[in-house]
Amino acid sequence: MQLPENCLLLRIFLGESDRHEHSPLYEAVVNRARAAGLAGATVLRGAMGFGASSRVHSAKILRLSDDLPLVIEIVDAEEKIQAFLPVLQEIMGGGLVTLENIRVLHYQPEAKS
């Protein structure tokens, strides 16, 4: 798969405990992005954060949080990201979604040994 140099970065902020049907929301987003043929998706787990509710979510040494902040990043051509937005709207409850114009410098699979 080739990516154009000028793409969009779709960034989705949500909580680890957010659900879609019976699975974690982040899994549903990544699985839908893959099914849509998007170039790739990465889920990043945050150590601490807060959102629209102003409720702080954090990982403490003595206590494991089950609702840490997550960020999903998806990069692809503008038309593919735009086509994915209605799918995302359908499965998301709360959270934050942003778009950024980016320049792709390198995108290729690992070389097989």
Residue 110 lies in a domain: no
Residue 111 lies in a domain: no
Dihedral sign, CA of 12, 18, 21, 25? positive
Domain that holds residue 15: 6-103
The H or E element that residue 108 is part of is: none
> What is the rounded average pLDDT for all residues in the chain?
90
Residue 13 lies in a domain: yes
Alpha-carbon gap, residue 26 to 12, rounded angstroms: 9
pLDDT at 60: 64
Give me the residue label for tokens 């609702």.
67
User: Which alpha helices (H) appear in the chain, and where do they start and end?
Assistant: 25-35, 78-91
Residue 1 lies in a domain: no
Query: For 2-16, what is the mean pLDDT?
Result: 95
CATH code assigned at 91: 3.30.70.120
**Global confidence as pTM:** 0.88
pLDDT at 106: 93
Number of domains into which the chain is organized: 1
pLDDT higher than threshold 60 for residue 1: yes
**pLDDT (tens digit, 9 = 90+) per residue, 20-72?**
999 999 999 999 999 999 999 999 998 888 888 777 777 664 455 567 899 99
Q: Which residue has the higher pLDDT, 112 or 32?
A: 32
Residue 12 lies in a domain: yes
Of the pLDDT bands very low, low, confident and very high (cuts 50, 70, 90), residue 104 is very high
Give me the residue label for tokens 């889920």.
43
The H or E element that residue 112 is part of is: none
Alpha-carbon gap, residue 33 to 77, rounded angstroms: 13
For the chain, report the end-to-end CA distance as a whole number of angstroms. 20
Residue 109 lies in a domain: no
Residue 108 lies in a domain: no
